[in-house]
Amino acid sequence: MKFKPANRIIVILAVLMLVVYTLMAFFVITQEFHHIDSTYNTNLLNITNIIATDEEIIAQLQGNQTTINQMVESYYDDVPLLSLIEIVSVDKIRYSHVEESLISSPYEQDDVNRALQGETYVLTDSSSLGESRKAFVPIVDDDTIIGAAIVEVLIEDINQVKLHTVLVYSSGFGVGFVISVVGLIWLSKRYISELLGFRPDEIALLYSENKSVIEQLNEALISIDKDYIITTINPMLKSMFHVSDDIVGLNVKDVFPYVDFQEIIERETHVLNKYKKIQDLKLLMNAFPLYQNNEVIGATAIFRTHLEVDSLIDQIKGYQQIAEALRSQKHEFQNKLHVVLGLIKMKDYQQAENYIMERVYTTNLASDYYTSRLKDDKVLALFVGKEIQSKEYNATLLLTSDSYLGKKHSPISSDDIVLVLGNLIDNSFEAYAARDIESKRIVVDIIEDDDMIKMTVIDQAGGIASEVLDKMFERGVSTKQGTSRGTGLSLVNEIVLLYQGSKNIKSSAKETKIEIILMKVTE
């Protein structure tokens, strides 16, 4: 028979309680048996002492011994549990007994000898009635032993008392055990009810899962109870706000005053993607109350950086640049059409033909050059757009003849490649814009194999300052001038980390070479 986990625990606890109750009952009953034996021994000796010191019995034993049995009978009335009282003379003649036929007969057992020698004792031995507990006390008159008093209780009667004790204590422990089991079942059901129907093992599993999820979040998380005491923080929050586990258990208003938890708890306010600037960090915050049985029991706030938003903005910016470049290309094409139209109106047909053939050849040559090496349409569009944009900087954008990028390069996203190349080429454009150089060349090399994609961008716009070089991929650090800087290369760094790649920067007084490797990771 199989039990549910909760029932199995109850059965195990019930068995343990049964063992404990049994051991306790055995111990108590054993102690009670010793107490009964001790009580009988003491009482027998006390009664025997009373009889042995009875002046009338002593006098009758010295004189008219036939009336001793009548005198002894009154003790049976006073102590009903007594089975037998015997008065034995020094010569071992019995003068009292419940069976009159044995009166004046010899006492043949040797157990009385020690009493006739002056000892007082209790023993268990056979008698004329059966096995008995006997007390022996010498009868003394003027320091002379004249006989012995023997008081007996049948072992059977003592065992009846012990049996009654066993029944009483067994019943008591049995009732206690039943009440304990019923209480255990009741407490178990109430306990499960208090735990929303979950068993302890299920709660342990849920806690482990919840803890793992919270610790693995890329967002910073903090939770409090309804008394504004911090109950949970995750590693990202500790890293983002430079706090430790020591703040758990403290009032959130004292150690983390960046969120109006009072508003959230008292008015049950939900905050969605609210921009907050905390400790020079640009953050998006979500905050909401926590409920149990429709009652607010606390609140949680989750913070994430603008990285995701900035990444999307940067991608959109890249596509906007492509669109603007294509519009520039459209305008340039329209200008060329105007030239052709002018030559035709001037009836200089030969010059018009030569002009068209020259432009078509150049365009086809460039188009064939790029399309044969860049099979990814998004990357191709970016490169074409950047080539047109390069004219604004009087620069020349070159793609090496060894370059190759396939149409599909899973798991590396085309958007991520566009983001990396777009940022690196833009950096070179702006580096040239800040310097007066006649020859402005930007060389791009893209190599793909089965394991990785390597992108290299080389410009000759001068080197990068040493104080910037070591931290140029950190958020907020920029190689450019102006506002809204310092996000592009940090996003490049995030992509490198995403694909378990690497980056290598070589900078001299004349040239800067940035190499980015993205691995085709499968995990």
Domain total of the chain: 3
- Digit-coded pLDDT (tens) for 172-200: 888 888 888 888 788 777 766 666 666 66
> The domain containing residue 274 runs over which residues?
218-305
pTM: predicted TM-score of the whole model, two decimal places? 0.41
Same domain, 376 and 231: no
**Percent over 70 (pLDDT), the chain:** 83
CB 115 within 8 A of CB 137: yes
Q: Are residues 499 and 449 in the same domain?
A: yes
Residues 235 and 336 in one domain: no
Q: Centre a 10 Å sphere on the Cβ of residue 22 and count the other Cβ atoms it contains.
A: 13
Higher pLDDT, 148 or 477: 148
Which of 289, 305, 321 is the last residue in one of the domains? 305
Report if residue 171 sits inside a domain.
Answer: no
**119-149: pLDDT as tens digits:** 999 998 887 788 889 899 999 988 889 999 9
Per-residue pLDDT at 227: 94
Assigned domain for 165 exists: no
Task: Say what the pLDDT of residue 502 is.
Answer: 92
Contact 70, 96 (CB under 8 A): no
The answer as to whether 167 is a domain residue is: no
Please indicate, yes or no, whether residues 286 and 365 belong to a single structural domain of this protein: no
Examine the pLDDT at 364 and tell me if it is beyond 60. no
- Residue 379 sits in the same domain as residue 505: yes
Mean pLDDT of 460-484: 66
Based on the fold, state whether residues 137 and 49 are members of the same structural domain. Answer: yes
181 CB contacts (<8 Å, ≥6 apart)? Answer: 14, 17
- CATH code for the domain of 414: 3.30.565.10
Q: Which residue has the higher pLDDT, 343 or 6?
A: 343
What confidence category does residue 332 fall into, taking pLDDT thresholds of 50, 70 and 90?
low
Question: Is 50 exposed, middle or buried, given 0-12, 13-18 or 19+ CB atoms closer than 10 A?
Answer: middle
CATH number of residue 298's parent domain: 3.30.450.20
Same domain, 258 and 356: no
pLDDT at residue 290 tops 90: yes
Alpha-carbon span 503 to 480, nearest angstrom: 19
Q: In this structure, is residue 197 part of a structural domain?
A: no
**Chain centroid offset of residue 234 CA:** 13
Verify that 300 and 316 share a domain, yes or no: no
Residue 483 — pLDDT band, cuts 50, 70, 90?
very low
* Residues 239, 322 within the same domain: no
Are residues 84 and 117 located together in one domain of the fold? yes
pLDDT at 478: 55
